[in-house]
Structure 1
Amino acid sequence: MDDIPLLALLAVLVVLLLVSGFFSMTETALMAANRYRLRHRAEAGDKGAKRVLGLLAQTDRMLGAILLGNNLVNAAAATLVSVITITLVGDDKWALGLGTLAVTFCILVVSEVSPKIVGAAYADRLAPPLAFLLTPLMQLTRPVVGVINLFANGLLSLLRLKPKHYEASPLSREELRSLVLGARHLLPGKHQSILVNLFDLERITVDDVMTPRTAIEAVDLEADWEEIAAQVATSYHTRLPVYRGDLHRIVGILHLKRVVGLQQRELLNRETLEECLAPPYFIPAGTPAFAQLQFFQENRQRLGLVVDEYGEIDGLLTLDDIIEEIVGEFTTSTPAGGNRLVWGEDGSVLVDGSRSLRELNRKLGLDLPLSGPKTLNGLIVEYLQDIPESGVGLKVGGIPIEVVHTQDRSIKTVRLFRPAPREKR
Structure 2
Amino acid sequence: MLQLTALVLLLVLSGAFSMTETVMMAANRYKLRSRAAAGHTGARLALDLLGKTDRLLGVVLLFNNLVNIAAATLSSVITIDLFGEERWALGTGTVLLTFFILVFSEITPKVIGAHYADRLAPILSYPLTALLKVAYFAVWFVNLFVSGLLHLLRLKPVQEDGPASLSIDELRAMVLESGHYMPAKHRSILVNLFDLEHITVEDVMTARGAIESIDLSAPEEDIRQQLATSYHTRLPVFEDDSERVIGILHLRRVLGRVLDGQLSRDAIRALTSPPYFIPANTSIYTQLQYFQENQQRMALVVDEYGELLGLVTLEDIIEELIGKFTTSMPDGSDRISWGQDGSVLVDGSQNLRELNRKLGLALPLDGPKTLNGLILEYLQDIPEGELSIKIADTPIEVVQTQDRMVRTARIFRPVAAGGPPTTAPGPDR
Scaled by the length of structure 1, the TM-score of the pair is: 0.92
Unaligned stretches of 5+ residues in structure 2: 421-429
1:170 aligned onto 2:165: yes
Structure 1 residues 257 and 30 mapped into 2: Cα distance closer, same or farther (>3 Å)?
same
1:288 aligned onto 2:283: yes
Q: Which amino acid aligns with 1:36?
A: Y
1:261 aligned onto 2:265: no
Q: Which amino acid aligns with 1:104?
A: T
Aligned to 2:418: 422
Aligned to 2:394: 399
Distance 1:383 1:82 in 2: 80
Question: Could you tell which deviates more after superposition, 57-66 or 351-360?
Answer: 351-360
Structure 1 residues 293 and 138 mapped into 2: Cα distance closer, same or farther (>3 Å)?
same
Match of 2:119 among 125, 129, 134: 125
Unaligned stretches of 5+ residues in structure 1: 1-6
1:192 aligned onto 2:198: no
Is the Cα–Cα contact under 8 Å of residues 413 and 419 in structure 2 kept in the other structure? no
Aligned to 1:216: 211
Question: Could you tell which deviates more after superposition, 262-271 or 191-200?
Answer: 191-200
Structure 1 residues 257 and 342 mapped into 2: Cα distance closer, same or farther (>3 Å)?
farther
Match of 2:103 among 98, 109, 118: 109
Distance 2:32 2:272 in 1: 56
Question: Could you tell which deviates more after superposition, 370-379 or 199-208?
Answer: 199-208
Distance 1:342 1:132 in 2: 58
Q: Which amino acid aligns with 1:74?
A: N
Question: Could you tell which deviates more after superposition, 222-231 or 289-298?
Answer: 222-231
Q: Which amino acid aligns with 2:399?
A: V
Q: Which amino acid aligns with 2:155?
A: L
1:297 aligned onto 2:292: yes
Question: Could you tell which deviates more after superposition, 208-217 or 387-396?
Answer: 387-396
Q: Which amino acid aligns with 1:149?
A: N
Q: What CA RMSD, in Å, does the superposition of the two structures yield over aligned residues?
A: 2.1
Aligned to 1:16: 10
Match of 1:247 among 242, 246, 251: 242
Structure 1 residues 341 and 169 mapped into 2: Cα distance closer, same or farther (>3 Å)?
same
Distance 1:423 1:358 in 2: 21
The alpha carbon displacement at 1:27 in A equals 0.7
Match of 2:245, SS? Answer: strand
Match of 1:328 among 323, 326, 348: 323
Scaled by the length of structure 2, the TM-score of the pair is: 0.92
CA distances 1:328-357 after superposition (whole Å, capped 9, x unpaired): 111134347697434455554432212111
Distance 1:307 1:422 in 2: 39
Is the Cα–Cα contact under 8 Å of residues 284 and 307 in structure 1 kept in the other structure? yes
1:36 aligned onto 2:30: yes
Match of 2:384 among 374, 378, 389: 389
The alpha carbon displacement at 1:423 in A equals 7.0
Structure 1 residues 339 and 33 mapped into 2: Cα distance closer, same or farther (>3 Å)?
closer
Distance 1:99 1:400 in 2: 72
**Aligned pair count?**
418
Q: Which amino acid aligns with 1:98?
A: T
Match of 1:69 among 63, 68, 74: 63
Aligned to 1:3: none
